[in-house]
Amino acid sequence: MRRLKPALFGFLLCGAAAAQAAECPGNPDALGTSRTIVVDPVDHPKLGTMQYRESLPLEDHEIVLTFDDGPLPPRSTRVLEILEHECVKATYFMVGRMARAYPDVVRRIHEAGHTIGTHSESHPLTFHKMSVERAEQEINQGIASVTSVLGDGSRTAPFFRIPGLLRADGVERYLASQHLMVWSADFLADDWTRITPAQVYARALQRIEADRKGILLLHDIQPRTVEALPYLLKELKRRGYRIVHIVPASADMPKTATDPRQWTRHARQPWQQVPIYIEAETESDLPVPGLASFGITQPFGIGQPFDRRPQGRSRTVLTRHQIPLPPVPIWPRSLDDEAAAAPLAGNPALPAPSPQSFGYPREATPPAPAAGPEDHKASFDVVPETTGNAIELRRILMENDRSKDDPVVTGSVPLRPPQREPVATTPMPRGAFP
């Protein structure tokens, strides 16, 4: 049989993916997978504009879904069911010991047609400072664990994501020598932090809208991700976004023909340095962080770095028998209220404002504050058209139960707390999480 040319093969592959998106069994309104891109790790060893200059050759409104740290049933199982319902293909970065603990889930993910990469053997958050030899053991053992579960080395993609995105030059050189593609990301949803599913949904949408294409990093082991994912996929379809599946090139599947300029993108705010993490047995052992921990060595003209770390305190190792979660990144900044900065030594503290500071007479009583976010439950049915204004985004999410005919919304009466009960968040069926 005559071999197809790469361009023709890619065209047929994309056509098959589009047909699958249009013919999703049991869900005619599914988001689907619009096309498949076949990549060669040798040509493009590092991806993700959060840290690198290259990302996938995506068109406008194209998104690649990735999931880290699994599998962990029933959460990973529920994520897989959501993807199957929407006929969406994703890329998984699995931890080796998690794959060995739940081999049936790994095989089910592979049988569903998703791409399976690796995420080290035990997810240590020390790749940026460990020796290359130790990193090699983590990388190779993680690949061996996933491959032993799948039973065939060709079923494990040569894709690797460094735990916590804590990159190091020596580790990246080793990965390139093994023809492994390093995946960072283009945007996060902060779903490993202590936020609500509505916040995961809102942050993912806002950051996707800022770039309009790229790699989204999620975690299939997080319950808030399970809650937010079906609403996120539904909203991506409403806004005209398309899901792209990424697979590695092989002898039977040549790489997709692309222009080198399609891979080059400029990061909006790359990580200049990795965050500093302290490992301890208990919270009482944690030293107080100094400004030097955040890269500030001469704050506001002060001669010496501001560091309160106790001298002589040694670092200890975590004793928890679980995989450490990724750290909170420096970027993107949180949509939550930013913590107030503590005054530095020598600077006078500002006086507390009084009612007269805002124009109230001394004998008058300031009006009662408006209802706070705790008085309302955010609903995924309301779609925030994100503009980058965190206050505006929260207002839209918290006031979704107001009618267009509500005189408060139209401005005919002053804004006051609603007198009726808030609309509850739309429930999503799920299993009992551990």
Residue at 252: amino acid letter: D
Q: What is the pLDDT of residue 380?
A: 59
Q: Is 117 helix (H, G, I), strand (E, B) or coil?
A: strand
Q: What is the pLDDT of residue 209?
A: 96
Three-state SS annotation for 244-256:
EEEEECCCCCCCC
d(CA 174, CA 168): 10
User: Residue 287 corresponds to which tokens in the numbers above?
Assistant: 């030293």
113: nearest Cα among 234, 9, 237, 13? 13
Fold exhibited by the domain 6-258: TIM Barrel (3.20.20)
Q: What is the pLDDT of residue 23?
A: 80
Q: What is the pLDDT of residue 379?
A: 55
Note the pLDDT tens digit of each residue in 224-247: 999 999 999 999 999 999 999 999
pTM for the model stands at 0.62
Strands 181-183, 46-47: parallel, antiparallel or unpaired by DSSP?
Answer: parallel
Q: Are the C-beta atoms of residues 305 and 290 closer than 8 Å to each other?
A: yes
Q: Are the C-beta atoms of residues 292 and 305 closer than 8 Å to each other?
A: yes
Note the pLDDT tens digit of each residue in 130-162: 999 999 999 999 999 999 999 988 899 999 999
Non-local CB neighbours of 205 within 8 Å, separated by 6+ positions: 232, 235, 384, 386
Q: Is 79 helix (H, G, I), strand (E, B) or coil?
A: helix
Q: Mutual orientation of helices 103-111 and 75-86 as an angle, nearest 10°? A: 10
Q: What is the pLDDT of residue 361?
A: 57
Q: Are the C-beta atoms of residues 361 and 179 closer than 8 Å to each other?
A: no
Per-residue pLDDT of the chain (434 residues; tens, 9 = 90+): 333 344 433 433 444 444 444 589 889 999 999 999 999 999 999 999 999 999 999 999 999 999 999 999 999 999 999 999 999 999 999 999 999 999 999 999 999 999 999 999 999 999 999 999 999 999 999 999 999 999 988 899 999 999 999 999 999 999 999 999 999 999 999 999 999 999 999 999 999 999 999 999 999 999 999 999 999 999 999 999 999 999 999 999 999 999 999 999 754 544 444 444 434 344 444 555 555 655 655 544 444 444 444 455 444 444 444 455 555 444 444 444 444 444 444 455 555 555 565 555 565 454 555 555 444 444 555 444 444 444 554 554 555 544 445 443 344 444 444 444 443 444 444 443 33
Q: Are the C-beta atoms of residues 35 and 18 closer than 8 Å to each other?
A: yes
Q: What is the pLDDT of residue 212?
A: 95
CA 16 to the chain's CA centroid:
29
d(CA 6, CA 4): 6
Please provide residue 249's backbone torsions phi and psi, each rounded to the nearest 5 degrees: -70, 150
Q: What is the pLDDT of residue 265?
A: 75
73: nearest Cα among 205, 223, 241? 223
**Can you name the residues that pair with 63 across neighbouring β-strands?**
214, 243
Q: Are the C-beta atoms of residues 13 and 257 closer than 8 Å to each other?
A: no
Domains of the chain, residue spans: 6-258, 375-409
Rg value, the chain, Cα:
24
Please state the length of the chain. 434
d(CA 61, CA 256): 19
The most distant pair of C-alpha atoms in the chain lies apart, rounded to whole Å, by 93
